[in-house]
Chains A and B, each alone.
Chain A
Amino acid sequence: MSNNKALPVAVAAQLTVHRFTYLTPRPYAPPVLAWGEPGVGKTAVITAIGDALNVPVEVVIASIREPSDFGGLPVVGEGGVRLHAPAWAQRLAAAQQGILFLDEISTAPPAVQAALLRVVLDRVVGELELPAGVAVVAAANPPEIAAGGWELSPPLANRFVHLQWKVDAADWCEGMVKGFSTPSIPQINETAFPAAYERARALVAAFIRRRPTLLCAVPKTEEAQGRAWPSPRSWHAAATLMAAAEAAGADGEVVSALVAGCVGEAAALEFLQFRRELDLPDPQQVMGNPDLLKGLTGDRMHAALTAVVAHATAELTPEKWAAAWRVLAHAAKIAGKDVAAWCACILARAHKPDLPVPSEVEEFCPLLEAAGLLGGGGK
């Protein structure tokens, strides 16, 4: 479902970010490739998105077309052979914006796929160039389902943001009974985008600095090569889409689907984890001001407190010892006592004879005793 929410964002990003010509590097919203079984309503949703955004939608089924439908029909004319663009391309060019939906591209023969390459990447049909305001969405069936399907070639695959199209039985049943809701269309806040884009770029760069091998990692198997994988281009796309999602107020699910769609699941997971950890307050600052811990959920509180304890015990001084205990006592008040108590156990283990027994210990004693750990781990 989350991916189905990501799709409108990715489409809206294509329709919007080409306007930010003054940003460097230019934002790059890649064309969308929606993977899904036949009959899950891809076309219906794309059409609904087009209606909601009030732009024309052209549906072109790639597998029943010929290469000339995309490369241009060679027509013998006065001055030689001209490559004539088909009607759908001319309509889009006339409208100046719109959505081009290429269905079933994975079942198209290689020659058609090759011709598509130019449409998808350069937005050129025959000798006609599509305007920048045209969003390209392609749909593909997984090769194991499609009879005679091919994986995409690695260069083609790397230029898309890959989104999985999932149908949720519960959602479908509800839609069947009550009527299907049109997808909610996100509005990309154009004033917020540049700042979000800058943050996203900095974040991606910081991550790549730490994990340079993930900048470009072509997968070994042909199957994985036909999906999303990390490359400088796809990281650029990921940063753009992340910023677009942020500017559209989308939730974490959408961001993670978009990033994974650009650079692949494995790289995306590592990146998102990195992002999550960067979000934690700095342990040194927390020791000065425990209030920074406010609002953290349990697991993140645990991560922050572990960092504080690690920071204190790395180089134990009486001041740090006391400060760490103050942080734990404060954390016990604003969050679950057990989270702080567990960290207190670890901190207590680092106790040295010359350090005073802090008064805050009292607070954790009953709990640790109930857990049967006192005498073992506790002070």
Chain B
Amino acid sequence: MTEKLPEKLAAARIKLIYHHPYLATAVFALHPVSRQGLGTLAVDAWWRLYYDEAAIQRWSVDEIAGVLYHEVLHLLRDHAGRARQMGAHPRLWNHAADAEINDDILAEKTLPLPDNPITPASLGQENGKLAEEYYAALAQQAQQQAGQGQQDDSEAAASSSSAANSSASQSQSGEQDGAGQSGGEADQQPAADAAGAQGESPQDSSAQTAAGQNEESAAAGTAGAGQPAAEEQDAGRGGDDGSQAGDAGESTSSASSAQPSSPSQPATNSVQQGGVGGSNGSPASRDAAASEPSTPDAASAPAHSSSSATPSQGDGGKPDVARGRCGSCATGVKEDWELDPDDKSVPAVKKAEADLIRRKVAQEIREHSKRRGTVPAHLKRWAEEVLRPKVNWRRELASAIRHALADASGMADYSYRRPSRRQSANPKVIMPALRQPLPRVAVVVDTSGSISDRMLAQAVAEVLGVVKAMGGRNGVKVISCDAGVHTVKDVLNRRHLKHALHGGGGTDMRVGIKEALKQKPRPHVVIVLTDGYTPWPSKPLRGVKVIVALLGDGVSPRWAKTIRVEENSA
């Protein structure tokens, strides 16, 4: 399969490896598949690299190498798996994932990316966050817009939400409307139907920021609803005439040109076109783009001719690499033009093998950075995460509490101390009864000021959740303590927490622990939340389990179960 690889693509692979030798395993694990008419280059979740020779001729070797780098990072960072785990909306997620990757690539300044790639800035976000964070922001924007639209026009809202979930339905609605209309109205109507939900969206601040930052990516902001802001405005006033639509198109043109999903790209252009007076581009291009991967040219043609603002990449074709359509390598959802994962003609890299490749690359990064130390920081971080996965402190803390409570005398367990209520049914069989004392937990919180309140609240909330799940209906006792004990409060839910934490000043957890043991009834478990810069009791405590959650670099006594809690860790 590989022998017919176009020379430019082969050269780009070498170029990429020249810059990042440790990626060789991943780059050569890609199985190239030629796809005439695809219009670009894309990768599926099974490491198959689809390319269109025509598209490759358009880009320079360096640009192709940059695009390959981008796609390999999708695979290495397992964006497909992460999307599936979140149940993320594919289009929106793809934008978020692209932003996560592109800021790193662009910061390196070694390989360029063609055609205005998506960056965090273009989504109105800061650099250096995770795709999950970008996604949350994008989803929120989309929701706000959808919410506004609902007030406007509930019917349209319904269509929009369904459109958001599948571009197919969107294209359908476009078709129908297009068919039903004629002339100047035709091009606005499909947009109107689909986009109605967002009615006033140009006024929406989030949409505007996004648009202001970069026209290409503003689309992402609206992608969740699957609709461009501009279209919606038409929609809100569905029956209005062309000139108004034109205005809308102009005022929000930046946002609309950023359409994330293929059906909308041509449609966007047509909205603008509507303003200028053209009419028939939209339904046709929408149609073509939405349904036939093999004819992106057909779709792009009207878009090109109609809009002066067409971005350089202009093809309304399906994939759009590094700009929100990278193939299923980013989303985990199979695209129409991709091969079936079980298709035998081109080997697929399944999850087990992908894990091995990832590990191998991570090891090579580690070795490389030991020898020469010229690995970009983001790759180094990634490699360390692969080779030494972080422990989830929430789980660890929860499990420590559960164990401590289970060990506390006689947790929900069978006992022959009292006869079972079923005993009378059959006097010959001896049955135990179920006894469950309520777990009593005291939390000593270090409020000396070195730990943020947010972090403390989070940790206490975590404790509370576990205790509740174990049947502790009385909540936990929270003891605020710095150099002395400030307050002792029963905390039943998160809201109580606000008033339970007091302090600032020196640190001595010994008084806090002492206070905890004085409580009546005595707690089964004492959990100490501290940064560790405190004196500790010199001897193990009798008759109570102690768990220390360390929120800093300090030390904890050997006799206490210790869990390191890291800020910002998920």
Q: Which of B8, B18, B31, B403 contacts A373 (CB 8 A)?
A: B18
Q: Which residues on the A side are within 8 Å of B461 (C-beta)?
A: none
Contact A299 B352 (CB under 8 A): no
Known: A73-B429, A297-B347, A339-B28. A110 touches B357 (CB 8 A): no
Q: Which of B28, B351, B400 contacts A2 (CB 8 A)?
A: B351
In whole angstroms, what is the CA distance A149 to B469 when docked? 9
Q: Which of A66, A81, A144, A222 contacts B400 (CB 8 A)?
A: A222
Q: Is B412 an interface residue (CB 8 A)?
A: yes
Q: Which residues on the A side are within 8 Å of B413 (C-beta)?
A: 109-111
Q: Which residues on the A side are within 8 Å of B29 (C-beta)?
A: 297-299
Known: A110-B406, A143-B399, A298-B2. A370 touches B351 (CB 8 A): no
Q: Mark B1-44, 1 if CB is under 8 A from A, else 0.
A: 01101011011111101100000111011111000000000000
Distance in angstroms from A245 CB to nearest chain B CB is 12
* 9-residue interface stretch from B120-128, B390-398, B443-451, B535-543: B390-398
Contact A252 B350 (CB under 8 A): yes
Q: Which residues on the B side are within 8 Å of A232 (C-beta)?
A: none
Known: A338-B5, A339-B28, A371-B61. A143 touches B351 (CB 8 A): no
In whole angstroms, what is the CA distance A270 to B10 when docked? 31
* 9-residue interface stretch from A7-15, A208-216, A253-261: A253-261
Contact A338 B412 (CB under 8 A): no
Q: Mark A75-86, 1 if CB is under 8 A from B, else 0.
A: 110000100000
Contact B469 A147 (CB under 8 A): yes
Q: Which residues on the A side are within 8 Å of B62 (C-beta)?
A: 372
Contact B469 A148 (CB under 8 A): yes
In whole angstroms, what is the CA distance A378 to B30 when docked? 24
A343 nearest CB neighbor, chain B only: B24
Q: Which of A111, A301, A367 contacts B10 (CB 8 A)?
A: A367
In whole angstroms, what is the CA distance A171 to B150 when docked? 32
A252 nearest CB neighbor, chain B only: B352
Q: Is A249 an interface residue (CB 8 A)?
A: no
Distance in angstroms from A114 CB to nearest chain B CB is 10
Q: Which residues on the A side are within 8 Å of B30 (C-beta)?
A: 298
Interface size class of A (residues with CB under 8 A): 35 or more
Contact B411 A110 (CB under 8 A): yes
Contact B395 A223 (CB under 8 A): yes
A145 nearest CB neighbor, chain B only: B469
Q: Which of B5, B61, B356, B429 contacts A272 (CB 8 A)?
A: B356
Contact B431 A273 (CB under 8 A): no
Contact B412 A148 (CB under 8 A): yes
Q: Is A320 an interface residue (CB 8 A)?
A: no
Compute the total of residue contacts between A and B using a CB distance below 8 Å: 162
Q: Is A335 an interface residue (CB 8 A)?
A: yes
| Best-surrounded residue of B87, B356, B359 (most CB of chain A within 10 A) | B356
CB within 8 Å of A: which of B458-494? 469-471
| Best-surrounded residue of B352, B355, B471 (most CB of chain A within 10 A) | B352
Contact B396 A221 (CB under 8 A): yes
In whole angstroms, what is the CA distance A342 to B28 when docked? 11
Q: Is B559 an interface residue (CB 8 A)?
A: no
Contact A373 B15 (CB under 8 A): yes
Q: Is A183 an interface residue (CB 8 A)?
A: no
In whole angstroms, what is the CA distance A373 to B334 when docked? 36
Q: Is A336 an interface residue (CB 8 A)?
A: yes
Q: Is B518 an interface residue (CB 8 A)?
A: no
Distance in angstroms from B347 CB to nearest chain A CB is 6
A256 nearest CB neighbor, chain B only: B352
Contact A257 B391 (CB under 8 A): no
Known: A272-B356, A338-B11. A74 touches B398 (CB 8 A): no
Contact A150 B469 (CB under 8 A): no
Q: Can you give 13 contacting A-B residue pairs, CB < 8 Å?
A: A66-B432, A75-B428, A110-B406, A143-B399, A148-B470, A150-B403, A151-B403, A170-B333, A253-B352, A299-B26, A301-B28, A337-B10, A377-B18
Question: Which chain B residues have a beta carbon within 8 Å of chain A's beta carbons?
Answer: 2-3, 5, 7-8, 10-15, 17-18, 24-26, 28-32, 61-62, 84, 87, 333-334, 347, 350-353, 355-357, 359-360, 391, 395-396, 398-400, 402-403, 406, 411-414, 428-432, 434, 469-471
Q: Besides A2-B350, A297-B347, 6 other CB < 8 A contacts?
A: A112-B414, A272-B352, A302-B25, A339-B2, A345-B14, A368-B11
Question: Which chain A residues have a beta carbon within 8 Å of chain B's beta carbons?
Answer: 2, 66-68, 73-76, 81, 109-112, 143-144, 147-151, 168-170, 221-223, 226, 251-253, 255-257, 269, 272-273, 276, 297-299, 301-303, 306, 333-339, 341-342, 345, 366-368, 370-373, 377
